[in-house]
């Protein structure tokens, strides 16, 4: 791949060149991570041998700390070996939809939004809220988040489905127990030139005034954009930015991603048909429960993986769930 990247005619086809350079960067990054693990492990072995030969336990704490860091790095690299999907190495776009229940579900959607932003922060990924529809009182009705980085979709694809919350309601004067639902959709980000070709004549672009809070500027100008892909009927809307141009760019990015997901679903359905399987990915597919009362537990219903530190999970500690889901899919 490096030899190909050095060819003088590489950029005669910019789309092909960009694809090659992205893939080369990912491959080099993966090799570099394993080489780093190899070197640090060798260094640690040498330190242990030196300490043992001199019967010096003053470095014991440093050794334990480095061993813990290397174990975490190994587990992360090991989990990447479970990425077998065509788009697993890509960035991802998350969409959250609050279910029925008004304030309760909208607050739950906001809690999940924070959870995924904290997860991205923990992994040094770049996260950006592309669009959000605020709730009437608190929380959000829906939100679209872009998380950029290697293997984001591979890690988060198992989050796709309905997330259920059970808790004592902070909005109920009787403090009764409530159950809320939010649908999370996780889509691989499209690389437009490589994945999708759109005929401009197939797009219907409408502008309208933003309905969300954003000050006088957004209320007085038709800055919000709705793009409809006429052949499929797919619609992408963005009203979160100040300018119409910015909203159009974001809406196009969302549309490309949804078109890629449509194509991906068709391929999955065809594979499932050949295997005689049935795929469900809608509101009926409850994947995880977060119980905050009368006890605390977060449980994934597909893998039976569960933890009792619900606060840590809601603060972005999702690695146990993502790893258990990836291992459960081996061979499927």
The pLDDT value recorded for residue 167 is 93
Structural tokens at position 259: 């078109």
Q: Is residue 87 part of a domain?
A: no
Write out 137-148 in H/E/C secondary structure: CCCEEEEEEEEE
Say what the alpha-carbon torsion angle 30, 118, 147, 165 is, to the nearest 10 degrees.
120
Residues 121 and 223 in one domain: no
Whether residue 176 is found in the same domain as residue 200: no
pLDDT number for residue 210: 67
Last residue of a domain, one of 38, 58, 80: 80
* Residue (of 214, 265, 260) closest to 236 by Cα position: 260
Residue 227 inside a domain? The answer is yes
Are residues 296 and 185 part of one domain?
yes
Query: Do 99 and 191 form a contact (C-beta atoms < 8 A)?
Result: no
Phi, psi of 280 (to 5 degrees): -120, 130
Structure tokens at 250: 């974001």
Predicted local confidence at residue 16, as pLDDT: 80
My answer on whether 143 and 154 are in the same domain is yes
Asked if pLDDT for residue 55 goes beyond 80, the answer is no
The answer to whether the peptide bond before residue 103 is cis (omega within 30 degrees of 0) is: no
Among the listed residues 146, 33, 155, the one whose alpha carbon sits nearest the alpha carbon of residue 96? 146
For residues 331 and 95, which has the higher predicted lDDT (pLDDT)? Answer: 95
What is the structure's pLDDT at 267? 81
**Does one domain contain both 135 and 151?**
yes
- Among 16-25, 84-93, 231-240, 296-305, the range with the most confident prediction by mean pLDDT is 296-305
Better-predicted residue by pLDDT, 242 or 292: 292
Q: Rounded to whole angstroms, what are the CA distances from 217 to 224, 245, 251?
A: 12, 14, 20
Cα–Cα distance, 99 to 286 (Å, whole number): 12
Q: Cβ(109)–Cβ(54) under 8 Å?
A: no
Q: Residues 267-279: what's their mean pLDDT?
A: 66
**Any idea what the CATH number is for the domain that residue 307 is in?**
3.30.70.1660
Instruction: Please indicate, yes or no, whether residues 164 and 307 belong to a single structural domain of this protein.
Output: yes
Task: Report the run of H or E that residue 297 belongs to, with start and end.
Answer: strand 297-300
Are residues 315 and 186 part of one domain? yes
Tell me the mean pLDDT in the region 66-94: 87
Calpha distance 332→330 (Å, rounded): 6
Residue 29: give the domain boundaries: 2-80
Residue 179 structure tokens: 């159950």
Most confident of the ranges 51-65, 102-116, 188-202: 102-116
64 located within any domain: yes
The H or E element containing residue 10 is: none
Greatest mean pLDDT among 74-83, 93-102, 323-332? 93-102
Higher pLDDT, 94 or 20: 94
* CA 86 – CA 185 distance, rounded (Å): 18
Q: Name the residue among 306, 192, 309 with its Cα closest to residue 255.
A: 192
Q: Cα(108)–Cα(165) distance, rounded to whole angstroms?
A: 7
Identify the helix (H) or strand (E) that includes residue 301.
none
Question: What mean pLDDT do residues 306-329 have?
Answer: 94
Number of independent structural domains in the chain:
3
Phi/psi for 57 (5° steps) reads -100, 15
What is the per-residue pLDDT across 149-162, written as a single tens digit (0 to 9) for each? 888 999 999 999 99
113 lies in some domain: yes
In a domain, 181, yes or no: yes
Per the document, the length of the chain is 332
Q: Which of 167-171, 194-198, 249-253, 285-289 has the lowest mean pLDDT?
A: 194-198
Provide the pLDDT confidence category of residue 213 given band limits of 50, 70 and 90. very low
Same structural domain, 187 and 302: yes
Say if residue 70 is in the same domain as residue 203: no
| pLDDT at residue 26 tops 50 | yes
Q: Which of 134, 213, 139 is nearest to 171 (CA)?
A: 139
Q: Which is it for strands 297-300 and 286-291: parallel, antiparallel or unpaired? A: antiparallel
Q: Are residues 115 and 188 in the same domain?
A: yes
Residue 85 within any structural domain of the chain? no
Regarding whether 156 and 301 lie in a shared domain, the answer is yes
Residue 137 domain-assigned?
Answer: yes
**DSSP-derived pairing of the beta strands 161-168 and 286-291:** parallel
Rounded Cα distance, 274 and 268, in Å: 10
Q: Are residues 200 and 322 in the same domain?
A: no
Assigned domain for 86 exists = no
């Amino acid at each position: 791949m490096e030899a190909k990247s050095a060819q003088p005619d590489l950029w005669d086809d910019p789309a092909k060149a960009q694809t090659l350079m992205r893939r080369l960067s990912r491959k080099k990054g993966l090799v570099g991570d394993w080489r780093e693990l190899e070197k640090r492990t060798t260094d640690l072995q040498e330190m242990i041998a030196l300490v043992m030969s001199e019967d010096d336990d003053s470095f014991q704490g440093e050794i334990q700390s480095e061993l813990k860091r290397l174990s975490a790095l190994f587990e992360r690299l090991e989990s990447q070996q479970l990425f077998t999907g065509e788009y697993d190495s890509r960035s991802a776009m998350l969409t959250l939809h609050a279910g029925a229940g008004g304030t309760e579900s909208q607050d739950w959607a906001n809690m999940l939004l924070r959870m995924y932003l904290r997860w991205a922060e923990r992994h040094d990924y770049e996260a950006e809220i592309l669009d959000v529809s605020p709730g009437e009182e608190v929380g959000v009705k829906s939100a679209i988040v872009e998380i950029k980085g290697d293997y984001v979709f591979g890690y988060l694809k198992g989050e796709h489905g309905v997330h259920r919350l059970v808790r004592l309601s902070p909005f109920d004067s009787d403090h009764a127990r409530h159950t809320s639902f939010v649908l999370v959709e996780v889509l691989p980000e499209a690389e437009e030139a490589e994945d999708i070709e759109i005929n401009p004549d197939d797009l219907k672009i409408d502008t309208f005034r933003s309905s969300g809070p954003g000050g006088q500027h957004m209320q007085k100008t038709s800055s919000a954009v709705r793009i409809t892909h006429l052949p499929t009927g797919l619609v992408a809307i963005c009203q979160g930015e100040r300018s119409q141009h910015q909203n159009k760019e974001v809406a196009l990015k969302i549309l490309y991603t949804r078109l890629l997901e449509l194509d991906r679903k068709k391929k999955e359905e065809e594979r499932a048909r050949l295997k005689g399987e049935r795929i469900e990915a809608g509101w009926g597919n409850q994947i995880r429960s977060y119980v905050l009362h009368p006890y605390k537990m977060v449980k994934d219903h597909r893998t039976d993986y569960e933890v009792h530190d619900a606060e840590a999970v809601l603060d972005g500690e999702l690695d146990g769930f993502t790893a258990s889901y990836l291992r459960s899919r081996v061979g499927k």
